[in-house]
Amino acid sequence: MSFQQGLSGLNAATKSLEAIGNNVANAGTVGFKQSQVQFSDVYANSLVGSGGGAQIGIGTQVSRVAQQFSQGNVTASNNPLDMAINGGGFFRMSDNGAISYSRNGQFILSKEGYIESASGQRLTGYLADANGVVAIGAPSELRIDKADLAPAATTKYELKLTLDSRKAVQPAASFDPTDPTTFADSTSVPVYDSLGNSHTLRTFYVKTASGATGATWTVFATNDDVPIGYVPPAAPVALGTMDFNNGGVLTGTTPSPLVAAMAVTTGAATPYNISIDATGTQQFAQDFGVAKQLPDGYQAGTLTGFSVSTNGEIVGRYTNGQVNILGQVILSSFANPNGLQNIGDNQWVETAESGVPLTSTPGSSGLGAVQSSRVEDSNVDLTAELVNMITAQRYYQANAQTIKTQDQILQTLVNLR
């Protein structure tokens, strides 16, 4: 009798419909991966030597429910902590040390500063120190440090000028920062001491020699309008000189580099020296111009926001215009992702069948890139699922019909007189 075959077919069709229903139900679940029920036929054990050509199967059975880890569409979001994986890999999550893996990158910031999923698991990665240096090692729960960014004193000043070769030669001894007739040109820039206080470094340029082989310019400076290196009415003291050949090219400075010793009374370290790099400065018959004026150093800053780069670095933005790395997201991959155990809440856990995780930074070791303010949609194809649903319904009806037909045959046999 074929009741067993029909019943197994009904069970198989039911399992298929359950998987399809679950796929449809999660079509809007971020990071969800659709499932597919796979079947195998069933044969009774045969005696040794029996003819295989006479065997009739006794139905079907579920061999496995395989998840399809294909890429879902990536959609923009308004949350800077939302992340989408474009490529392979899983986010590595921690629940009090219990590790799970997820493709759902909808994260929030807890009151303690941890990056968490909606169900409370914490995103893991590599932590960074106060200087933004990421410590590659054992993964840790990522935490956003909202502390102010400490100030940094200015130590280097990159300066690229065009000096006017038509200016007259003047004696260096007559330089007076308050008298514009004693220097050719000047430029100023804000610099910072070790406490982040702002000061104004102003440099002055006096053409002190000119001839067939080139020219020499003497450089003076003031710190917040106070001359550096001397106290008036004492004779002015220069930072040094800049020498140019007859083609207007800077051949060097004396000393090299020029150094401005900034004395301050703010309680910061004093004096602090600023090295002036004048590479590229030139002297031509044209008006004075500033091509580059780039001092380092900055004031203290307050965290205003952050974003995640494609390699997983969490980059903080501060009110002083600086950026600093706060940590780095990591991803994990598996040799056999279908061996992972789905535990719900968009999470999987490692099993013996999945193999051990390969954990590294996004974009390396075959892992995908991370996209900030993005989420990965479910990879469920609703159109295909609806067609599969119709097909599974037909399977169910056909198997039910075999049972009905077998019942009619059995009823006929019972009614024989």
State the Cα–Cα distance between residues 211 and 308, nearest whole angstrom.
Answer: 57
Burial class (CB in 10 A: 0-12, 13-18, 19+), 39: middle
* Local confidence pLDDT in tens for the 417 residues of the chain: 578 888 998 999 999 999 999 999 999 999 999 999 999 988 877 555 555 566 788 889 999 999 999 999 999 999 989 999 999 999 999 999 999 999 999 999 999 999 999 999 999 999 999 889 999 889 999 999 889 999 999 999 999 999 999 999 999 999 999 999 999 999 999 999 999 999 999 999 999 999 999 999 999 999 999 999 999 999 999 999 999 999 999 999 999 999 999 999 999 999 999 999 999 999 999 999 999 999 999 999 999 999 999 999 999 999 999 999 999 999 999 999 999 999 999 999 999 999 999 999 999 999 999 999 999 999 999 999 999 999 999 999 999 898 888 888 888 888 886
Query: Residue 394 is encoded by which pair of tokens?
Result: 């037909």
State the Cα–Cα distance between residues 225 and 204, nearest whole angstrom.
Answer: 12
Q: Which helix (H) or strand (E) holds 404?
A: helix 382-414
The pLDDT score that the predictor gives to residue 411 is 87
- The residue among 14, 41, 42, 73 whose CA lies nearest residue 377 is 73
CB atoms within 10 A of CB 33: 22
State the Cα–Cα distance between residues 256 and 273, nearest whole angstrom.
Answer: 14
The pLDDT score that the predictor gives to residue 123 is 98
Omega before 255 cis (within 30°)? Answer: yes
- The residue among 199, 202, 169 whose CA lies nearest residue 184 is 169
Burial class (CB in 10 A: 0-12, 13-18, 19+), 161: buried
- The residue among 134, 230, 125 whose CA lies nearest residue 176 is 230
Sign of the CA dihedral with 162 first, then 167, 169, and 170 last: negative
- The residue among 300, 230, 226, 231 whose CA lies nearest residue 264 is 226
Residue recorded with tokens 């940094």: 152
State the Cα–Cα distance between residues 71 and 304, nearest whole angstrom.
Answer: 33
State the Cα–Cα distance between residues 40 and 391, nearest whole angstrom.
Answer: 18
DSSP tag of 12: H
335, 365 Cβ separation under 8 angstroms: no
CA dihedral 115, 121, 122, 124 (to 10 degrees): -130
Residue recorded with tokens 């474009």: 86
Q: Given phi > 0 = left and psi -120 to 50 = alpha, else beta, which region is 372?
A: beta
Long-range Cβ contact pairs of 402-407 (< 8 A, separation 24 or more): 402/2, 402/5, 402/6, 402/9, 403/2, 403/3, 403/6, 403/7, 403/10, 406/1, 406/2, 406/3, 406/6
Query: Residue 139 is encoded by which pair of tokens?
Result: 């993964």
Residue recorded with tokens 């169910």: 396
Burial class (CB in 10 A: 0-12, 13-18, 19+), 63: exposed
Residue 301's alpha-carbon distances to 196, 291, 324, in angstroms, are 9, 28, 11
